[in-house]
Structure 1
Amino acid sequence: MHTDSPARGRAREILDADAFGRTLARLAHELIERNDDVPCLALVGIHTRGVPLAQRLQALVAERSGVEPELGAVDISFHRDDVLVRGREAPLHPQPVVRGTELDFALEGRTCVLVDDVLFTGRTIRAAIDALLDFGRPDRVQLAVLVDRGHRELPIRPDYVGKNLPTALDERVRVELEEIDGQDRVMLEQGRSDDDD
């Protein structure tokens, strides 16, 4: 179980476990409502926290619609615009950990919903779209995020938002998931992290 570190500064809980569950249930309902053809729906989680969120949404959509959408995961490591590969020199910034992309279904004819925890500048989503299109050409690509914190640098807008959370640039949104952190909650903290994008 995580505790709030003094080094991170003040932290405020935005969603507790109950609100977190209700938010995911609402997102699942919106996915069904806006997509008439659920059998052609695919939920694609963006590593790391987007993957368990996509898994949960898949279960919720299946429970409510009777149809289980396809499930995939996408790794954006080599599609990020901050990954620098330069001869034999050391990288200027810490490089991302490479994880697997799993898309065990044809993308053609499908609505692919990219799932992520926090939408910030939009750079992660741009990279995820590039990674997805390396594997095929879906009919539509949609975006579902748990938290939209604003401060976009690219013209990217989510189709499904769990929580709109206006933030200052010196704040950080921390999403904790039962599968990774042992609990579900969303925290707002002072201080940016190197992996915020």
Structure 2
Amino acid sequence: MQKLLVATGNAHKTEEIRAMLGAGYEVTDLKSHPELPKVDETGTTFLENATLKAVEISREVPGLILSDDSGLEVDALGGAPGVYSARYAGEDGNDEANNAKLLTELADVEERRARFRCVMVLAENGETLAHFDGAVEGRIITERLGDGGFGYDPLFVPEGHEQSFAELGDEVKNTLSHRARAMEKVCRWLADRNS
């Protein structure tokens, strides 16, 4: 079984990635390596941040490292919250505060087109092996709907659907999300590498 460390402390991301990779991979994350230093996400793009995390962690841990930087881009807000999605309201990872701020920012806005964007980087031994991206278009609704998912999932309705990601559930979300689209490319790359 091949080992792959996801350079995140976000259990939701790890579970999504584990489910998408399937059997054949032992997937762990940074929670299994509390001794590792926190990597500051100082990049101004998803690719820069994902690369920083993957390369830095791959210098400390042998084997394949997969990092992901992702977020929500709202057209009416000039692409915000973007790379600051997790800390949009100032508190890292506070989903409720981030959602509340987004709803306030869009209170008088009719055009609510948005997308989730994800960039993933694979690294090993301090070197980038490849990077992958994925996006899903949709819109921001005016109130939170659903109990599933995390982050902005209760406010985001993907194109072609009437329910939020939080209502659609993991099984549906994992087939059409930005992370799923990036992971499809990761899986193809890994399959080619292992063949």
Instruction: Tell me the TM-score normalized by structure 1.
Output: 0.30
Higher relative contact order (CA 8 A, sep 6+): 1
Instruction: Tell me the TM-score normalized by structure 2.
Output: 0.31
